[in-house]
Amino acid sequence: MSVSSSRTEPQSSGAFVAFLKRLHFYIGVFVGPFMLVAALSGIVYALTPQIEDSLYAHALHTDSRGPVLSLQDQIQHAQASAGPGLSIAAVRPAPGQGDTTRVMFSDPGFGPSEHRALFVDPVSGEIRGDMKVYGTSGVLPLRTWIDQFHRGLLLGDIGRIYSELAASWLWVAALGGLTLWAVRRGGQSRERGNVRRWHSTTGVWLLLGLLFFSATGLTWSQYAGDNIGVLRAYYGWSTPSVATSLGKSGATPMQMPMDEHAEHHMYMAASAQAFVLDPALFDRVLARARAEHIDAAKVEIRPSASNDKAWVVSEIDRSWPTHVDAVSINPQTLDVVDHVRFSEYSLPAKLTRWGIDAHMGVLFGLVNQWVLVVFASGLAAMVVMGYVMWWRRRPTLSLARKQQATLLNLWRSLNPGVRWTTILTALLIGFALPVQGVSLLGFIVLDALLGYRRAARRFVESKA
């Protein structure tokens, strides 16, 4: 995003280009820092799987080999270590030889999105780790911290505005930069300076990735994400989840949409089971789920919080090919209540699942991670190059008073049809992306104040 300033009075034929250039300038100056933070923290997040695997190796892996204990025995070891008063939220059996079983407890002292996880050696029953994990997917502490910083600067919901601001303007900056690049090439004008040429070239090469970051980032944003969720629900594009209500006769109710952003947040309240939970049920429920073709090595068993709810066994392998089938089972009769298969998802739901997993770097493993690092590094470099261009070509104070055109002045230079189209487009986008709409209003107010200030100075100078 170039942050070079516009010239004062553009020719009428280039009014829209000048307007776009000025808007590009504002995005670079005021939103660029947020994009830079999101890009750099995203790079660190993309590299955390290998870091965590090494950092938490003792908890995640074991050298024990031999017959595997039943889930009942493993859970009882975890319960004995955790102490009384904690209810089991979920169990993840060891996915392979040398891996540990994760037993997650709902701890009253933790937040609604947090669990206490005990890592059990499936052969010996040894407790190899005890730590706080985050979300339904049980993100480990390091990634939790990086994730919360990337998503909201560790400031909670208020901080999430920063990442939504970056995602909301990223697609505008990318497409606007492409338009400016195309206009310059069409006019056969040569790029002035190596920095500007590198900035433009990098933006063109990274265009699809930047649009991808923007679109997937918006899906889990606070305000725009809610609007996207409403739109998906209206058109039936939501990701289905298994029904769990047993009712008086064990009938299945209608399905509820599933949250695809389990790595980033969770809405399931941590409440104690209203009945005594038999650890032996985990073995029986898992065996029933395996009979229903829940075949992935990585699965999660989530017990119900009451007798009128079914247990859920879900595949949690989000690499390619994606394994996220789920089945709900009546723990009393072991009857299947509902079964949701990824192959039966609607195309928009599949694309959403794949897009989110690719954004997080888990869809294609190491290749996915390095692609994210390359694109995020390119975005960070573009922001820095934009500021370098602005610093080198910043106008002097006397020149700024006379030569800088404002957004309002440039907008007035457009023909009436384009002016009204611009207003209508801004209103629609502002309604769909509220953070972008409010920030655009801020750009306009600031722009008007700068214009008024320059006009006042020129008036004073003319009277001197």
Averaged pLDDT of the chain: 86
Report pLDDT for 270: 39
Give the pLDDT confidence score for residue 187 in this predicted structure.
62
pLDDT of residue 275: 55
Instruction: Pull the structure tokens for residue 96.
Output: 């392979």
Predicted local distance difference test score (pLDDT) of residue 400: 46
pLDDT single digits (tens) 324-378: 999 999 999 999 999 999 999 999 999 999 999 999 999 999 999 999 999 999 9
- Give residue 411's pLDDT: 86
Contact yes or no for 125/73 (Cβ under 8 A): yes
Query: Is the CA virtual torsion 80, 83, 87, 91 positive or negative?
Result: negative
The listed range with the strongest mean pLDDT (186-190, 206-210, 228-232, 451-455) is 206-210
Check whether 425 has a pLDDT greater than 70: yes
> Is residue 200 within 8 Å of 191, Cβ to Cβ?
yes
Instruction: Tell me the H-state helices in 303-433.
Output: 347-360, 365-393, 397-403, 407-412, 416-432
Residue 56 has pLDDT above 90, yes or no: yes
Listed ranges 5-14, 100-109, 452-461; the one with the highest mean pLDDT? 100-109
Task: Check whether 72 has a pLDDT greater than 90.
Answer: yes
> 280-324, pLDDT tens digit by residue?
999 999 999 999 999 999 999 999 988 889 999 999 999 999 999
pTM: 0.85
Start-to-end Cα distance in the chain: 40
DSSP string computed for 146-161? HHHHHHHTTSTTTTHH
**Beta strands 127-134 and 114-120: pairing type?**
antiparallel
The whole-number pLDDT of residue 387 equals 93
Using DSSP, how many helices (H) and how many strands (E) does the chain show? 17, 8
Is residue 435 within 8 Å of residue 18, measured between CB atoms?
no
**pLDDT at res. 144:** 92
Instruction: Write down the pLDDT at residue 346.
Output: 92
Query: What is the pLDDT, as a whole number, of residue 193?
Result: 67
In the chain, where the domains are located = 12-46+153-226+364-463, 57-139+240-344
More confident residue, 398 or 40: 40
Strand, helix or coil at 102? strand
Q: For residues 249 and 47, give the distance between their C-alpha atoms in angstroms, rounded to a whole number.
A: 49
Over residues 265-275, the mean pLDDT reads 42
Is the pLDDT assigned to residue 65 strictly greater than 70?
A: yes
pLDDT in tens, 208-267: 999 999 999 999 899 999 999 999 888 888 889 899 998 754 444 445 455 555 544 433
Q: How confident is the model at residue 192 (pLDDT cuts 50, 70, 90)?
A: low
- Provide the pLDDT for residue 268: 37
Q: Lowest mean pLDDT of 9-13, 149-153, 278-282, 425-429, name the range.
A: 9-13
What tokens appear for 108 in the block?
């009253």
